[in-house]
Structure 1
Amino acid sequence: MNSNQKKLQQLIKDQTLTLTDEELFLSSAYQKYLSSMAKAATGRYRQGLQTLMEWDASDGAGLAYTDNYKIHINAGNSITQSFPSRMLRSESLVGMNGHETAHLLFTDFTTLGLYLRSMENGSFYPEEPSFDDQYQESCEEMLEAVHERDKAVCLTLSECASHISNILEDIYIEARMCDAYPGFFKQGIELNCLRMNELMPSLQSQIDNGFSDFAIVANLLLQYCRAGTVNNLHGYTGPYLDYLEDCVPYVEESIYSDDVKDRLHASNHILGILWEYIKPMVEDTRDRLKVASEEDAKNLLNEILGDQIQGVAPLPSGKNGAMPKQAEAGKKAQSANPPLQFSPQARQNIMSGVQDVVTEEGDRIQLAKTSTILEGNNPGITYNHQYLGSGYEKSASDLFRILNSVATEKAEEQYQQEMTEELQKAANDIHYGNAHTGIHVTVNRMCSVSDDLVKAYQSVAPPLLRASKRLQKTIAPLLKEESEGGKIKNLQFGKRLDTRALHHEDGTFFIRTRLPSEEQKLAVGLLIDESGSMSSSDRITYARMTAIVLYDFCQSLQIPVTIYGHTTPDCEAGVALYSYAEFDSIDTSDRYRLMDMSARNGNRDGAALRYVAEHLSKRPENQKLLIIISDGQPADYGYIGTEAEADLRGIKKEYSKKGIILFAAAIGSDKENIKRIYQEGFLDITKLEELPKNMALLVKQYLK
C-alpha cells in the first residue's frame, strides 16, 4: 500500500466518524438501498418506483408520503431523530419506507377516493350508518344535514372521515406488510409504532393544549389501534374514554378484513358516534366559508386536524374518484397477495418484539394502561405474525456497508480536492517563458464523477477495451518474462556453455541467466487539444476514443499514465487544463472522467505542453513518452505564427534533454505546420479510425 492509498484509507476512517445523519441518509447510496427494498416488495407492479429522501428538521415537518409514483421520506423528521442511535434511526426510515410501500401494495385508492368525494357531494359510501342504541338520534341528525347537502357539513365530515379512514387503513396495511415481508420492514414499522405512541401527548395534555374534542378521540383511537392502550398518565375518566370504548367494536371488525369497504363502513359509524364532537367544527367551517373559498376552508380544516391528530398523513387519490395508473397496479398487487389471517391474540406480540431492540438503547416512556378500555372482553388490536423464521438479520451490516460507501465517496472527493490544489500549486510554480507572460494556468479536475458520465463510458467502451486487450496480448508475455527473470537459451555468444545445445549446427551453444527486473521503464503522458476546431469531423470523438484505449492499455500493463486536455478560458487570456487521469490517482473514476473531454475554445499549446512535460519529468521511469494530439497550430491572443512555433520547438528541445520523448499526432489540415514544429516527432494520422490503435502501438514500441 503506497502513501496515497494509506492517506485515502485514513480519510475514509475520518469521514466515517464525522459523517452526519443528513449526509448519510440523503446520499444516493442510501436512497438506492431503500428503493431496492421497495422494488423488491412491489415487484412488477411498480416499474420505476423510487424512494426519495429529503431533510426537514423543523417543527411540524412531515414524515413520509407516496404520490403513487415515488415514495418521499423526510429523514429529519422528529420520530426518526428521536431514536438514540444511528442504527435505530436507519431502522425507523426503513419502517417508513415499508409503510408507504404497503400503501402502494394494499390500499385501494379508487375506493377511498370515491368514499371521500361521495361524502363531499352529500352521500355515504358504501352505505349510511345506523345504530340500535343511543347514537341513532345523533346519527339521524347527521344524515339529515348531509342529505340537505349543507356544504359546511359535507366538507367537515369529509375531512374527519379522511383522518378516521386513514387510521384504520394505516393499521391494516402495516399488519399486512409485517406479515408479507417480516424480514425487510417488520422491525422498522414496529419501532415507529412504539415510538409514535411514546411521543403521543397524554390525554390530559391534549385537553390542556386545547385540542378539539374530535382530535382527542381520534388520537385515542390511533393509540388503541397501534398498541391496545392509551396514554392516560393522569387517570382521566371522562366521556372521551366512553366514546373510544363505543368505537372499538367497529374498529375490531374492520381491522381484520381485507375488504376496504368494511373499514369505510366502520369509519361511517365512528362519524355517527362522534357527531356531537364534529358539530362545533361544522360551525367553524360555516364561518370560514363566508370569508374564504371552499378550497381554502377545506385546506385550513385539514391543516388544523393534521396538527392535532398525530402521525396520520393523507392518502393520495385521483380526481373525481379515479385512481392513477400506478395505483391501479397497486390494487392488482393487493389481489395477488394471499389474504392476511388475523386473530385477536395477546396484545404483547407487537410490543415484545420491539422492546428487545430498544432495551439496550436506554429507558423508554411507558404508556399508562386504561383499565376501562383494557379490562373485560376487549382484547385490543394486535398484529398476528405468522412468520416463524429469523427475519432479515443483515440490517446492521447493510447500514455499515452504506456508511462506508458514503464515507469512501466523501473521502475520495476530499482526496481529489487536495490533489487539484497540489496540481494547481505545481502549475503556479512553473516558469512558462516570455511568450506566456501574464498568462494564468488553471487546472480543472472533477472531484466526483456523475452517473451520466459512467453510463456514457459504459455505452461506448466495450469495443475499445477489446481493441486494447488485443494489443496487450502481444506485449504482456514479454513484460512478464522481464519482471520474473529466467534463462535465455540458444545464444551464439556468452560465458556459459549449454551442454544440451552442443548438437546445434548454427553455433547457438550458450546460455545466460537474466535476473528479475523490478524497475519500471516507461511513463506515458497524453495531451489533447480541446480547441473549438476539434469538433470538426469528429476529431474530439476519436481523441476521446484514443484516450480510452491508451488509458486501459497502460493501466492493464501497470504503465504509469497521465492524460490532460487543454484549451483557453471563456472571454479571458489564460490556459485551462483538464486533468482526466493522474499518475497517483487511486480511485477508479479516471476512466469515466475521460468522457468529459470536448471541443471548447482556443489553444495556447506552449503553456499546456510545458505543464504536462514538467509533470512527466518528475517521474522516476527511465523513459518518458509524451504524446500530443492536435488538429492545428496554436491560436490564442498574442500567441500565433512564428513566435508560437519557436516557443513549442524550444519546449521540445528543453525537455528532450530531460529524457522526454515527444510525439505530435496531427489530425487536422495544418499537418505541414505541425510537422515543421515537431519535425522527427511528427505523426501523420490520415485515418482517424486508426488513431487509438496507432497510439497504443507507439507506447508498445517504447516498452520493447
Structure 2
Amino acid sequence: MNKKVQQKRNQIKNRMGRLTDKDFFLSQSYHDTMLKSVRLLGQKNDITLFMDYEESDDARIAFTNGRLLYLNTANLITNLMTSRVSKIKSHEGFIAHECGHLRCSDFKRRGRYVSGFSRWRVYPKPPQVQLVYERKAWEEMKGYLNAHNVVAASVIQKTASYINNVLEDVYIESFMCQKYPGSIQNGIQRNAALIIHHIPTQEARKAEKSDGLTIMLDMIFRYARAGRTEAEKEYDKQYCSRLNSCRKIIDEAVVSADPDIRFYATNRLMLKLWKYIRQAIKTAAKSLKNEINRLSEEELSKKIQEYLKRKMLWVALSETIGASEEQNEVEEEIEGWDGELEGEPESQNQNGKNEELENALEKMRDGQRQEGGEEETEEGSEIDETLSNLLQKIAEEKFLQDEESDLKRNLEEEAANFKLDGIHKDSVIEMHRMTTVPLRLEKEYKMIAPEINRITRRLEASLEDVLERLEGGTQSGLYMGKRLSRGNLYRLDDKIFEKTIKPEDGFSIAFAVLLDLSGSMSSGGRIESAQKAGLVMYTFCRNLGIPVMLYGHTTHDMGYTEVVDIYSFADFDSVDNQDYLRIMSVSTYDCNRDGVALRFVGQKLLNRPEDIKILLMISDGQPYAQGYKGEIAKADLQEAKYSLEKRGVKLFSAAIGDDREMIEEIYKDGFLNIADFNTMPVKLAGLIARFIR
C-alpha cells in the first residue's frame, strides 16, 4: 500500500477516536443523514435543516416554521442521555416531532391566532362561555384587549401560544406514532418521558417563587402528554381541581385533526386559568410600572417581551412558529443561519376526529408515564453499523477540514514571507481560501457542469493522438505498419495498418491559472467566461492527472498601503476534492496589480518538481492600481515575464476584453486571444500541444 495512503488512513483512524459529540453532530455527513430523515418523515423536499450545538439550559430544543427546521443537537433532553447511539435516537425523535408539524400543522393559521392578541382580537372567535366564572373571566379578558393594554395582551398572547403549542404537540406526536410505530415512536416517547420526569415539583416551583400560572401550566403539560399520573397527587387541591375542569377540553383537542378545534380549546382553557393569568398580568404591570408611562408603545412591547422571556420559563418540548409570528426574531437569534429558506409553507388542514389517533394517544401516554431518567441500553447490528459508517465518514471530513485549514495557514505564511521590492515594496499580500465549501456552490456548479464537460471533451478530442501516445494502447488508421488492422480492411484510403503504443512514463508538466478579479471583469460576462475557462483547464488537468492550481487576484486599499488579495480557488496541495466548487465562488472586486500576483504564483510553480511549468493568466485589460498603470506597469510585467521564463516558467496571457492589442504588446509570443469563448478549446489545445508532444 502507498505509504502516503496508509498515513492518511492512520490519521483518520486517530481522529475517529478523538471525535467529540460536537464534531460528530455538526458534521456534514450527520446533517445529510438527518436531512434525509426530515424529507422522508416530513414529506417535504424543500425544507431547510439547520443543526446547532448549544448546551445552555435555556437554549432552544427544536422548532419549525414550515420552511426551516431547527434542531439543537446539544439540547438539555438529549444531553441527559449518555451514549451517542441514544443521543442519535433522541435527535430522530425531535426530527420526527417537527416533521409531524410539517405534515399536520397549519402555520399560517397558527400565526394568525397568536398575533391576533397583539391586535386586540381573539381568533377564530370568542370562547364559548358555559359557567359564571368563565363569563366573568371573558369580560375581564375582553376589557383588557378593548383597552389596548399592552402588558395584558402580551401575557395573554404568550399563555395562549404556549397552551396551543402543547395541544398541537400532542396531536402531531400521536399522528407520527400511529404512522411510524417502531423506532420513531420510541424516540418520540423517550424524549417526552424524560422531559416529563424533569418537570419541577410544586415545592421546587414555589422555592423559585414561580406563580400559580406556571404551576398550572406544568400540570396541563404533564396531563396532555402523559394523562393521569401519580405526580398530580403532590399538588395543592386548588390546582388539582382546576386541572379536573380542563381534562375533557384537552382530551378532545389533542385527537382532532382540525387545528381550529385546538384554537377553540386554548381559548376555553384560558378562561379556566384566568385567575392565574390575571395575577400574572398584575405582577408584570407592577414590575414594569416605571416603563409603562415613559416608553413608546413599540419600546414598551420590546421591554415586555424581555420580561416575559425572563420570568415565564415554562416547560416545553419544542416550538411551533407561525408564518407571521416572530419570523424576524427567528432569523436574528440563530447564529450561523443566513436566513435562506427553500420553498413556501403549504397550508394543510385535516378535518374530523380519528379513533385511531385516540388509540395512538393512549399508547403514547402509556410509553410516557415511565419516569426513568436514564435511557435504556440500545443494541442492534443495524444501528451499530450505521454509527460506525458515520464515524468513518465524519473522521474523514474532520481530517480534510484540518488539512484544508493547515493549507490555508501555510498559504498565509507564504504570503507574509514573500518579498516584494521595487515599485511593489509598499504592498502586502493577503491570502484567501475557503476551508469549508457552502452547499450553494454545488447547486451553481450543476447548472454549468454540462457545458464545462462538453468543452473539456472537445479539448481532449483535439489532443486525442497525443493522449493515446501518453496512455498507451493501439493506434489504428495508419498508412504504414507491420500489422494490418482487421477493422479497417474495408477502407479505400489505404489507412489499414495499426501499431501498439507503449505507455510513456508520463509527462512532467504543471499548470497554473491566474484570473483577473478586478472590477472591469464584471462587464460583458467576462468574469463568467474566465471562470468557465478556468474550470475547463482544471477539469482537463485533473482528468489527465496533471498538477493544476487556479488563483485569482485583486486589490483593496488599507489606507496607508495597498493590499494585494490573492484567492486560492484550486491548489496543488488541496486534499478535499472540492476545488471545482471553490472555483464557483469566483467574483470581481477592485483593482489589479498583476506584477505581484504573477510573481507569487510563478514562484509556486517554480517550487514544483515537474519539468514543464505553464502559467496562464486570464484578464480583460491592462493592470491598474495605486501608482501602477501605463508604461510603469507595462515595464514591470515585461520584466516579470522575462524573469519567470528565464527560470523555467512559460507565461501566457489570455485576453477576453477590449485591450487585447495592449496585452499582446506586453506579452508578445505569450499572448493568447480567447475573446470568443467557443474557440477557446482549440486555442488551449494548441497551447498544450506545444509542450506535451
- State the TM-score, normalizing by the size of structure 2: 0.73
Q: CA offsets per residue over residues 557-612 of structure 1, 9 Å max, x none?
A: 22222223334443534643332222232222222232344454444444433333
- Cα deviation for residue 397 of structure 1 reads 6.3
Deviation, structure 1 residue 621: 2.8
1:621 alignment partner, SS class? coil
Counterpart of 2:603 in structure 1: which amino acid?
E
**Separation in 2, partners of 1:539, 1:253:** 65
Secondary structure of residue in 1 paired with 2:63: strand
1:82 corresponds to which residue? 80
Q: Deviations over 1:14-66 (max 9, x none)?
A: 665555555655566655654544443443xx674334445554343443334
> 2:201 aligned with 1:202, yes or no?
yes
Q: Which position in structure 1 is the counterpart of 2:95?
A: 97
Residues 158-183 of structure 1: per-residue CA shift (max 9 Å, x gap): 87666555444432321111112346
- Change in CA separation of 1:515 and 1:219 when aligned onto 2, cut-off 3 Å: same
After superposition, residues 378-393 of structure 1 pair within 5 angstroms as: none
Instruction: Please report how far the alpha carbon of residue 282 of structure 1 lies from its aligned counterpart in structure 2 after TM superposition.
Output: 3.1
Question: What's the counterpart of residue 561 of structure 1?
Answer: 548
- Please list, as runs of the form range in 1=range in 2, the aligned pairs for 1:74-223 lying within 5 A after superposition: 74-107=72-105, 110=109, 127-129=128-130, 139-146=131-138, 151=143, 166-182=165-181, 185-206=184-205, 208-213=207-212, 215-223=214-222
Which of 569, 587, 608 is the matching residue for 2:576? 587
CA contact (8 A) 1:553 1:696 kept: no
Q: 1:234 to 1:582 in 2, by over 3 A?
A: same
- Alpha-carbon distance in structure 2 between the residues aligned to 1:149 and 1:348: 33
1:307 counterpart = 2:333: no
C-alpha distance in 1, partners of 2:568/2:591? Answer: 18
Q: Secondary structure at the match of 1:626?
A: strand
After TM superposition, give the deviation of residue 192 of structure 1 in Å.
1.0
What is the alpha-carbon distance in structure 2 between the residues aligned to residue 27 and residue 167 of structure 1? 31
Q: Deviations over 1:344-377 (max 9, x none)?
A: 9778852599989922289xxxxxxxxxxxxxxx
Deviation, 1:417, is: 3.1
Superposition deviation, residue 680 in structure 1 = 3.6
Judged with a 3 Å threshold, the aligned counterparts in structure 2 of structure 1 residues 214 and 663 are, in CA distance, closer, same or farther, namely closer
The answer to whether the 8 A contact 1:126-1:261 is kept is no
Asked if residue 422 in structure 1 is aligned to residue 410 in structure 2, the reply is yes
Residue 40 of structure 2 is aligned to residue 40 of structure 1: yes
Which runs of no fewer than 5 residues in structure 1 stay unpaired? 130-138, 320-324, 363-389, 501-507
Aligned-residue offset at 1:694: 0.8
Say yes or no: does 1:446 pair with 2:434: yes
Residue identity opposite 1:83 in structure 2: M
Q: 1:219 to 1:696 in 2, by over 3 A?
A: same
1:285 aligned to 281, 296, 303, which one? 281
Paired residue type of 2:349: K
Find out whether 1:360 has 2:377 as its counterpart. Answer: yes
Equivalent AA in structure 1 for residue 608 of structure 2 = R
- The match for 1:697 among 678, 686, 689 is 686
Q: Of 337, 346, 359, which aligns to 1:342?
A: 359
SS of the residue aligned with 1:143? Answer: helix
Matching residue's letter, 2:505:
E
Query: By how many angstroms is 1:466 displaced?
Result: 0.1
SS in 1 for 2:93: helix
Note the residue ranges of structure 2 that are not aligned, 5 or more in a row: 146-151, 326-342, 486-494
Aligned residue for 1:577, secondary structure, equals strand
Q: Deviations along 1:83-115, whole A, 9 cap, x unmatched?
A: 223333333333233323323433467599779
Give 1:553 shift: 1.4
Q: Secondary structure at the match of 1:358?
A: coil
Distance 2:193 2:323 in 1: 28
Q: Is 1:471 aligned with 2:459?
A: yes
CA apart distance, 1:468: 1.0
Identity of aligned residues (%): 29
1: CA distance, partners of 2:671 / 2:111? 76
Shift of 1:191: 1.6
| Pairing partner for 1:523 from 487, 510, 513 | 510
Change (3 A) 1:687 1:361: closer
Q: What code does the residue aligned with 2:537 have? A: L
How far does residue 679 in structure 1 lie from its aligned partner after superposition? 4.0
Opposite residue 222 of structure 1, the aligned amino acid is F
**Equivalent residue number for residue 537 of structure 2:** 550
8 A Cα contact 2:194 2:371, kept in partner: no
Identify which of 613, 628, 648 aligns with 2:617: 628
Letter in 2 for 1:40: L
| Equivalent residue, structure 2, for 1:387 | none
Q: Deviations over 1:457-512 (max 9, x none)?
A: 3323422320111221353565355444789999999xxx9999xxxxxxx9x999
Q: Is the 8 A contact 1:53 1:72 kept in 2?
A: yes
**Structure 1 counterpart of 2:446, from 455, 458, 473:** 458
Moved more, 10-19 or 555-564: 10-19
- CA 1:360–1:646 in structure 2 vs 1: closer, same or farther (change >3 Å)? same
1:404 offset after TM fit, Å? 5.8
Residues in 2 aligned to 1:123 and 1:544: alpha-carbon distance in whole angstroms = 55
CA contact (8 A) 1:631 1:667 kept: yes
Measure the CA separation in 2 of the matches of 1:637 and 1:689. 35
| SS state at 1:580 partner | strand
CA contact (8 A) 1:228 1:347 kept: no
Q: Distance in 1 between matches of 2:259 and 2:231?
A: 31
1:331 Cα deviation from its structure 2 partner:
1.3
For residue 627 of structure 1, give the secondary structure of its aligned residue in structure 2.
Answer: strand
Counterpart in the other structure of 1:611: 600
> What letter is aligned with 1:582?
D
Farther off after superposition, 118-127 or 570-579: 118-127
The whole-number CA distance in structure 1 between the counterparts of 2:466 and 2:395 is 40
Q: CA deviation at 1:413?
A: 3.8
The CA distance in 1 between the partners of 2:266 and 2:515, in whole Å, is: 71
Q: Are 1:80 and 1:92, in contact at CA under 8 Å, matched by a contact in 2?
A: yes
Q: Output the amino acid matched with 1:620.
A: P
Instruction: Give SS of 2:406's match.
Output: helix
Whole-angstrom CA distance in 2 between matches of 1:285 and 1:480: 84
- Are the aligned partners of 1:412 and 1:447 in contact in 2 as well (CA < 8 Å)? no
Q: In the aligned structure 1, how far is the partner of 2:125 from the partner of 2:653?
A: 83
Q: Are 1:64 and 2:59 matched, yes or no?
A: no
| Distance of aligned partners of 1:35 and 1:558 in 2 relative to their CA distance in 1, 3 Å threshold | closer
CA shift, 1:622, in A, is 3.2
* Range with greater deviation from structure 2 (187-196 or 90-99): 90-99
Q: Distance in 1 between matches of 2:368 and 2:531?
A: 61
For the structure 1 residues 648 and 523, does the alpha-carbon distance in structure 2 shift closer, same or farther, using more than 3 Å as the test? same
2: distance between equivalents of 1:119 and 1:304? 24
Tell me by how many angstroms 1:547 deviates: 1.2
Measure the CA separation in 1 of the matches of 2:521 and 2:361.
75
* Amino acid in structure 1 at the alignment position of 2:553: H
SS in 1 for 2:515: strand
What is the correspondence of 1:504-519 to structure 2 with a 5 Å cutoff? 516-519=503-506
Q: Aligned pair in 2 of structure 1 residues 597, 57: CA closer, same or farther (>3 Å)? A: closer
Mapped partners of 1:77, 1:430: distance in 2:
47
Instruction: Mark the CA change 1:629 to 1:11 in structure 2 (over 3 Å): closer, same or farther.
Output: same
Secondary structure of the structure 1 residue equivalent to 2:349: helix
Pick closer, same or farther for the CA change 1:123–1:34 going to 2, 3 Å. closer
User: What's the RMSD between the two structures over aligned residues?
Assistant: 5.2
| Counterpart contact for 1:35–1:51, Cα < 8 Å | yes
